[in-house]
Amino acid sequence: MTDCPLCTDMGGELIAEYAPHFRVIRASDAQFPAFYRLIWQGHIAEFSDLSPAQRQLCMEAVAAIERVLRQQLPAHLQPTKINLASLGNVVPHLHWHIIARFDWDSHYPDPVWAQTRRSAATEKLQALQAQLPALDTAIGHAVLRLDALQPQ
């Protein structure tokens, strides 16, 4: 598919690449700075198009990212919930959204794609932004430790 934005563009700031299977990016979203995507490298529209080994690797990677989001943030910024989504209605290329959510965020408890409920908690967003380099590094390390699961 030549017009797929996830085939022609990185899709965000590259955090890790688990070649040849997938890459992990951090989305550029000021309201949700801890918004990551796992993007399958080949143009595949549906999760069931992957082999069983690829599906296992994909979900282990999603779980690894979720674990880092739950464990790496300082106590005063612990996420209330981690949202996982694989929609693909707008971009039919297999990708998973892994989003740390907070009860103070502008949309909580609604999805990040819903209407804004309240003003942004600027001070808390800035504190979270300051943690992103360490968070990105931890996610990259967690994903690269999946080598034992790599499909042949």
Q: Which residues pair with 40 in a beta bridge?
A: 22
Sheet (strand 13-18) strand order: 13-18, 22-26, 35-40, 95-101, 81-85
**CATH for 5-149?**
3.30.428.10
Tens digit of each residue's pLDDT (9 = 90 or more) over 36-69 = 999 999 999 999 999 999 999 999 999 999 999 9
Tens digit of each residue's pLDDT (9 = 90 or more) over 16-45 = 999 999 999 999 999 999 999 999 999 999
| pLDDT reported for residue 116 | 96
Does residue 152 or residue 137 have the better pLDDT? 137
| pLDDT reported for residue 148 | 64
Beta carbons of 73 and 124 less than 8 angstroms apart: no
Give the number of residues written for the chain. Answer: 152
| pLDDT reported for residue 151 | 62
Residue 52 CB burial class (10 angstroms; 0-12, 13-18, ≥19): exposed
Instruction: Show me where the domains of the chain are located.
Output: 5-149
Whether pLDDT at 76 is above 90: no
User: CA 14, CA 20: separation in Å to the nearest integer?
Assistant: 15
